[in-house]
Chains A and B, each alone.
Chain A
Amino acid sequence: MTGSRITKRPGNLSPLPNLRDYEGTCSTFSWDQAARLLDGLPGGAGLNICHEAVDRHLRHGRGGKTALRWLGKGGERRELTYGDLSLATGRFANALGSLGVQPGERVFLLMGRLPELYVALLGALKARCVVTPLFSAFGPEPIAMRAELGDARVLVTTPELYQRKVRGLRARLPGLKHVILVGEPPAGEPGVQGWDALVGSASSDYVIGPTDPESLALLHFTSGTTGRPKGAMHVHGAVVAHAATALYALDLHDDDIFWCTADPGWVTGTSYGVIAPLVTGVTSVVAEAEFDAQTWYGVLEREKVSVWYTAPTAIRMMMKLGADAVRAYKLPALRFMASVGEPLNPEAVVWGQEAFGLPFHDNWWQTETGGIMIANFPALDIKPGSMGRPLPGITAAIVQRRADASVQVVAEPGIDGELALKVPWPSMMRGYLHEDERYRKCFAGGWYLTGDLARRDEDGYFWFVGRADDVIKSAGHLIGPFEVESALLEHPAVAEAAVIGKPDPIVGEVVKAFVALKPGFEAGEALRRELLGHARKRLGAAVAPKEIDFRANLPKTRSGKIMRRLLKARELGLPEGDLSTLESDEK
């Protein structure tokens, strides 16, 4: 299907796309000009994400417009206008102040998609704190690791999640001074307060202090092949990219009803589930319930969603249910569908047309890039399977690394290499927390090296080829093999562990672990289950392995490094490649 093309007639689209002349806009675009989409703090006091996303809309007469339309699991609905959100975030910012929390300190969020999550995220930015949203399906170990690395001072969570995952970690997290629970707090728990008592009683009047656009706003953890999770640091100035990409890649117009299905625990759910739609001033739908195809179609129909941003795993699960299930719903408002998380297979792009009468527009970006970098646009033809073309303001290229750590740009099309982006752009990460060396290694010759292998075709469309490292991508989320291996190695029976991504038609890759046991332990179903339960309890379902196989020995290099690549090749029945460094093979 690689040769096929979905042609567009942008003149027939209603409303007309924001980006109609791709080449022309790319040639004249500048980020300085894009910054004019924003107001800045009054009196030239800088740039603050919460001001741009919430407070400034009141000055433009949008205070009564619905900002968030929250749909609860049990069918409840709550609408928060921009005015409501301005007051609520003011209360939360004042509540942080009443606890003595200072600008720059870290506020961690761990909860499902409740309205308080959105208020806390924006309110903490208002207070100039640094926000880290965590995925609520993380187990205690990923939570503890991130809270330790990020020096969490405040955690906002629910009583259930606190009880199940956080309470036992408090001794490990001496820096965590304040826990705010959305719901009834347990009695006699030190440093734990209820949201209603603390936030509900705080004043809603809050004047945002001077905010340097280069000051830290968000700390998003992502995974690498080795070592601990990396804390990608993003600044308030990133909001310029959120605003521009919301216009160009998501084509948001003033009267759109927008729905980003991603959880704010991942960067998509923060950049495009919270910040970008609100900065643009549209109405954003938040659905608390987990994925279920028919529930989702109901949301699209009932809420008259016009622009929808979702993910390949969900789309492929919808495909399993079939196009007829979609056609049972009336979706005349729906006009643009986009997808991100991992490459969207061509069949899924085309299935969008069959089921919804619209193709899915795949786009590409990473935690480190902070916003959409490469996209399929409403006015441009789609080549199904391609991630599209760079956003205005973004220069992308295919490069090859040289032995001396410099890079060479591959000018001719059709050649595989590493996808690289010319620095800088506003939402580019400003560092990995406490890991300068790892950060510096991401750059060469004025390029950010993405770690993704890709190629560019003769029309300037980019195509994903694979990862340059061993990072696993499952249901659109990056999982570091090291984090999973470390948890397995904590079990007394495990001598060695290696973790790979095993291709899966629905979720992209599933986490598969190979373990070698210490003497005296016997491989078998009982131990497999014990290890599975052990890993799930520590890591949570989103990170833990789905499959565990036993080996007497894992293949290693002379320096003792386990060769995940070889295990993966064998698992997939692929050529084993260069085995010259193999010292000790698996058994």
Chain B
Amino acid sequence: MNDTEIRALLADVLAGIAPEADLATVGDDEDLRAALDLDSMDFMNLVIGLHQRTGIDIPEADVPKLFTLRGLTGYLAR
């Protein structure tokens, strides 16, 4: 997946968890949790959603790598 596809997928998963969240307002290196008002439960659901949609395993220890847009797109693009 390229960057654009990953962002579209993220927006889609996010819409089921935090429909009010607007990815366009988030900088590449901002913490998504703070920028989009996601609590730990929301973020866990987001990670589960990304795994389900991509089939990519995201071990617990890697979750912090997904805290920023840059980290998340980089991780899923691998």
Contact = CB atoms under 8 A, between A and B. Distances in A.
Contacts of A534: 20
B40 interface: yes
B40 A475 contact: yes
Interface string B37-50: 11111101100000
Nearest to B36: A541
A532 B39 contact: no
B32 to A, nearest CB: 11
Contacts of A293: 60
Contacts of A537: 20
Given A320-B60, A321-B61, A529-B15, A291 B20 contact: no
A202 interface: no
A243 B34 CA distance: 34
A74 to B, nearest CB: 10
A542 B39 contact: yes
Helix, strand, loop or mixed for chain A's interface?
mixed
Nearest to A536: B20
Nearest to B16: A529
Contact of B40 (A112, A291, A325): A291
A532 B61 contact: no
Contact of B31 (A73, A139, A506, A532): A73
Contacts of A424: none
A506 B42 CA distance: 12
B18 interface: yes
Contacts of A112: 34
Interface string A305-335: 0000000010001001110010000000000
Contacts of A292: 63-64, 67
B37 A540 contact: yes
Nearest to B20: A533
A137 B37 contact: yes
B18 A294 contact: no
B69 to A, nearest CB: 16
Given A529-B15, A529-B19, A530-B19, A325 B44 contact: no
Interface residues of B, number: 21
B4 to A, nearest CB: 23
A112 B37 CA distance: 12
A475 B45 CA distance: 15
Interface string B7-20: 00000000110111
A295 interface: yes
B40 A317 contact: yes
Contacts of A325: 61
Given A294-B64, A530-B19, A507 B41 contact: yes
A283 to B, nearest CB: 27
A585 interface: no
Interface residues of A, number: 33
A290 B34 contact: yes
Contacts of B20: 532-534, 536-537
The SS class assigned to the B binding surface is helix
A5 to B, nearest CB: 31
A546 interface: yes
A215 to B, nearest CB: 36
Contacts of B16: 529
Contacts of A320: 60
Most B CB within 10 A of own CB, among A290, A507, A536, A541: A541
A292 B33 CA distance: 12
Nearest to A165: B37
Contacts of B64: 292, 294-295
A541 B60 contact: no
Contacts of B37: 137, 139, 536, 540-541
B61 A475 contact: no
A529 B40 CA distance: 19
B17 to A, nearest CB: 8
Contact of A541 (B19, B42, B44, B67): B42
A119 interface: no
Interface string A369-389: 000000000000000000000
A320 B44 CA distance: 12
Contacts of A147: none
A317 B61 CA distance: 11
A535 B67 CA distance: 24
B58 to A, nearest CB: 12
Given A322-B60, A534-B20, 5 more contacts: A321-B61, A504-B41, A507-B40, A536-B37, A541-B37
6 contacts: A112-B34, A137-B37, A294-B61, A475-B41, A536-B19, A537-B20
Interface of B: 15-16, 18-20, 31, 33-34, 37-42, 44-45, 60-61, 63-64, 67
Closest 9 CB pairs of A and B: A533-B19, A533-B20, A529-B19, A541-B39, A321-B60, A537-B20, A541-B37, A292-B64, A536-B20
